[in-house]
Amino acid sequence: MGQGKGANMGFRVLLEKGRGWSLANSVMLLLGIMAFLTPFAHTQTILEVSFYLAVLVAGVVVMRGERLDFDTPLLLPFVLFGAWGAVSVIFALDVRDSLSDYYAHFLKYILFYYLLFNFFKSKQKLVWLSWVFIVSGTVLSVFIMVYFYVVQGNDLSTRLAHGLTYYPVNQIGYATVFSFLLASHCLRCVPQWYQRVLLAFSCIATFAASLLSQSRGTMVALVLSFIILSYKNKKLMVALVTVALLFVALGPVKARISSSADRVALALFSAEIIKDHPVTGTGFSIDTFHNTELIDHEKYKGRIPAEYRNVVKFLWPHNMLLDIAVRTGVIGCLLYVMLLATVARVAQQLMCCGGDSFIQKWGQCISASLCLFVAKGLFEPSFFHNADMVFYSICSMASILWWLDKEGELG
């Protein structure tokens, strides 16, 4: 314990000194660029360059004798799920694609998680990180709404981003609701009027974009997560939840919510695949599910009731637990649930037992953000880069708060 605390102290000293501070700032900037640009199309090259430069600069920090801290509550769940994910790669139907997705959707984000944890490990830096997501989600919301409804001239009853190939309507909600929750949380804490104006605008823009997406998962996530975030402010909670429910009841999204045949079909189809691959799954690859050369769709369609065989394209399971079970088997699914439960436990402890009001309020925000991810993930695909960025950022924020509460902020 003493050695780990000394390493943390040494790393903090590095962050506060001239040349070392410059290196730390460089890593923070590069990670911030990644967090900001992930929801936007045509930014893949910048994202890749930013990530590998951040890893390189962090490596220089380590080579200068400073240690990165890997001791977080999520270490064991990450190791267990990662180890089983590696097993699923070995026995995958498509080993090459599974290995690629294992790296791109797990190992890279574990590195991202630990870089955020080490380089944003202070209250002020945590607030800075939240502003990156707030501005990113706000810019995304305003851009898409203006482009879709003003430039293209679509009617407001049309689902936001419907038909925009590079902005899948189901994926937008991860960024917009996450930004909305962070902005709503920060709005309660900042005293400066200009920051409050910016945050209020962000709340309005991201809330509107989330509603206009008409996504069932986004609607559920928005309502449930905001209830957690604002349960102490009953008037505000009732007001925004009422607006969301009225939008659902009076708008075209009502018909979508009342219809569930597509989700039932995907669940039944996924369950049949799991029956044939219960232990290691089909492999970590996200795309194996709809690869008809590896998975006989006609065979599995024949196993489900006739009324569900042709109601939807079987591209991905629209449920995170079924998705994980298909790809990594039942054991992988249980380990993933363990990971989610650990994040939830940490957030709940911070919210209820944090050492000061900052920790407690942020614990509440992290609890709401995790609710967003889980609620949306139970209705829609949740293992694409937009969702990965939100989830691992939530994990890193929870871990930073855990460390601040456990060790106390140095300096």
Percent of the chain at pLDDT > 90 equals 69
Give yes or no for residue 1 having a pLDDT over 70.
no
60 vs 291: CA distance, rounded Å: 42
pLDDT tens, 171-218? 899 999 999 999 999 998 888 888 999 999 999 999 999 989 888 889
Residue 255: pLDDT band with limits 50, 70, 90: low
Residue 410: pLDDT band with limits 50, 70, 90: very low
The pLDDT of residue 248? 66
The pLDDT of residue 268? 94
Report CA Rg, the chain: 22
Q: 290 CB contacts (<8 Å, ≥6 apart)?
A: 313, 314, 315, 316
Residue 4: pLDDT band with limits 50, 70, 90: very low
3-class secondary structure, 225: helix
pLDDT tens, 213-254? 888 889 889 989 989 998 777 777 777 778 777 776 666 665
What pTM did the predictor assign?
0.90
Percent of the chain at pLDDT > 70 equals 91
263-267: list long-range contacts, CB under 8 Å, 24+ apart. Answer: 263/318, 263/319, 263/379, 264/308, 265/304, 265/308, 265/309, 265/311, 265/312, 265/314, 266/312, 266/314, 266/316, 266/317, 266/318, 266/319, 266/322, 267/317, 267/318, 267/319, 267/322
pLDDT tens, 68-90? 899 999 999 999 999 999 999 99
Residue at token pair 């290196």: 23
pLDDT tens, 386-395? 999 999 999 9
3-class secondary structure, 191: coil
Phi first, then psi, for residue 285 (nearest 5°) are -60, 135
162 vs 383: CA distance, rounded Å: 20
Q: 307 CB contacts (<8 Å, ≥6 apart)?
A: 261
Contact, 385 vs 362, CB < 8 A?
Answer: no
Measure the CA angle with vertex 104, ends 21 and 313; round to 5°.
140
Closest to 395 (Cα-Cα) out of 355, 352, 347: 347
Q: Is 362 exposed, middle or buried (0-12, 13-18, 19+ CB in 10 A)?
A: buried
Contact, 160 vs 169, CB < 8 A?
Answer: yes
Q: What is the mean pLDDT of residues 104-133?
A: 96
361 vs 6: CA distance, rounded Å: 28
Residue 7: pLDDT band with limits 50, 70, 90: very low
Residue type, 389: M
Residue at token pair 């799991």: 274
12 vs 122: CA distance, rounded Å: 9
Q: What is the mean pLDDT of residues 128-134?
A: 97
Give yes or no for residue 6 having a pLDDT over 50.
no
Residue type, 329: G
Give yes or no for residue 261 having a pLDDT over 50.
yes
Give yes or no for residue 105 having a pLDDT over 60.
yes
Token output for 68: 């990165």
Q: What is the mean pLDDT of residues 10-28?
A: 62
Helices (H) and strands (E) in the chain, counts: 17, 0
Residue scoring higher pLDDT (309 or 367): 367
Give yes or no for residue 98 having a pLDDT over 70.
yes
The pLDDT of residue 214? 86
Residue scoring higher pLDDT (171 or 331): 331
Residue 152: pLDDT band with limits 50, 70, 90: very high
Longest Cα separation, the chain: 68
268-272: list long-range contacts, CB under 8 Å, 24+ apart. Answer: 268/304, 268/305, 268/308, 269/300, 269/301, 269/304, 269/308, 269/314, 269/317, 270/317, 270/319, 270/322, 270/323, 270/325, 270/326, 271/322, 272/300, 272/303, 272/304
Q: Across all residues in the chain, what is the average pLDDT?
A: 89
Give yes or no for residue 292 having a pLDDT over 50.
yes
Q: What is the mean pLDDT of residues 151-171?
A: 87
Residue at token pair 């939840």: 241
